[in-house]
Amino acid sequence: MIAEAKDLQAKEIKLTDRPKYTKKDLVADHPTWCPGCGDFSVLSIYFKMMEKLQLPHEKITSIAGIGCSSRFPYFVNAYGVHFLHGRAAPFATGVSMMRPDLHVFVFGGDGDAFSIGGNHLNHASRKNVKMTYVIMDNFVYGLTKKQTSPTSPLGFKSKTDPGGAVDQPINPMKQLIASGATFIARTHSHLPNHVMEMMEKAMAHDGFSVIECLSECTEFYPGAFDAANPRKGGAFNLVPADHSVTDEIAAYKLAMTPFPGYFGVFYQEQRPTKNALEAKLIADSKARAENASPTELLQKTFARLS
């Protein structure tokens, strides 16, 4: 065994001996969200989940774009990146492909995910890159102080639509099913136990798992999700127990139920991940090249060219 590998093995052994961490150890900066913002709840559930699972502290990885919700990684005392607006998915793809030992989480808003980052979300979905993407959907651009987002309902008055939104909003669940995501769920930040259940299921899924989490913007769209909040007289309709999560048509039917719709896992399928497919490609080409080192491969190529 080479020295480096021995060293690594010794370190891994040490890691198993260390004391358990608590939520307190994961708290970084004080969240700068407005009082009552739904995003607080998602953050505290993430802490709770990590505390429960005891994922090695140095393996906790949260990646985000730009937006109020995308401030998420700042507030977690672990590895994370606050990247470019709409570009969280491609960044997370790179991390996921290069570091199979990590479970990559992406957090961001409806604008980040469906507007500027819409194409990236579609491609990460269809490629089935292993990660969990939590879209904190507040139906508005919060950080930039109230513009219409792709999920704002018709008639929503904002700085970009003072007379009320005229464009048909997207249906997040329909779009995610169509794009080929292999785990798709919907939840509401006011129901923490349900959020936790969805996040745990998403994390256990081997592939691209995505959750639309309704997360109220108390500043620019207060009351947006009251209709789905039992404490505000709304109805939190769970996905019916007899729903088959592998039935794509049934998932579309759930997605087409008028607001507030259903909550739970809409769709799940097992399909090889991009991570596994590329690992195989690399292993196969290494075998074809008789495990030659990169330098030897270059030398062979140059020899062929000369």
Q: Kindly give the interhelix angle for 274-288 and 88-98, rounded to the nearest 10 degrees.
A: 40
Q: Which is nearer to ligand TPP, 73 or 142 (CB)?
A: 142
Residues 43-102 touching ligand SF4, rule: CB under 6 A, are 68
| Identified binder of ligand TPP from the candidate list 41, 61, 62, 69, rule CB under 6 A | 69
Per CB under 6 A, 37 contacts ligand SF4: yes
Q: Which is nearer to Mg ion, 128 or 138 (CB)?
A: 138
Give the shortest CB-146-to-ligand SF4 separation in angstroms. 8
Residues 139-168 touching ligand SF4, rule: CB under 6 A, are 142-143
Q: Which is nearer to ligand SF4, 39 or 212 (CB)?
A: 39
Phi and psi torsions of 116, nearest 5°:
-65, -30
How far is residue 68's CA from residue 71's CA, in Å, rounded to a whole number? 6
The torsion of the CA quartet 114, 218, 72, 132, rounded to 10 degrees, works out to: -50
Which range touches ligand SF4 (CB under 6 A), out of 125-133, 178-186, 218-226, 268-276? Answer: 218-226
Per-residue contact flags (x/-) with ligand TPP for residues 78 to 97, judged by CB under 6 A = -------x------------
| Identified binder of ligand SF4 from the candidate list 41, 125, 138, 179, rule CB under 6 A | 138
Give the shortest CB-113-to-ligand SF4 separation in angstroms. 14
Where do contacts with Mg ion occur on this chain (CB under 5 A)? 109-110, 138
Q: Which is nearer to ligand TPP, 44 or 144 (CB)?
A: 144
Choosing among ligand TPP, ligand SF4, Mg ion, none, which partner's interface includes residue 144 (Cβ < 5 to 8 Å by kind)? ligand TPP
How far is residue 204's CA from residue 138's CA, in Å, rounded to a whole number? 26
How far is residue 44's CA from residue 66's CA, in Å, rounded to a whole number? 20
**Interface positions with ligand SF4 (CB under 6 A):** 33-34, 37, 39, 68, 138, 142-143, 217-220
Point out which residues bind ligand TPP (CB under 6 A). Answer: 66-69, 85, 108-112, 116, 136, 138, 140-144, 149
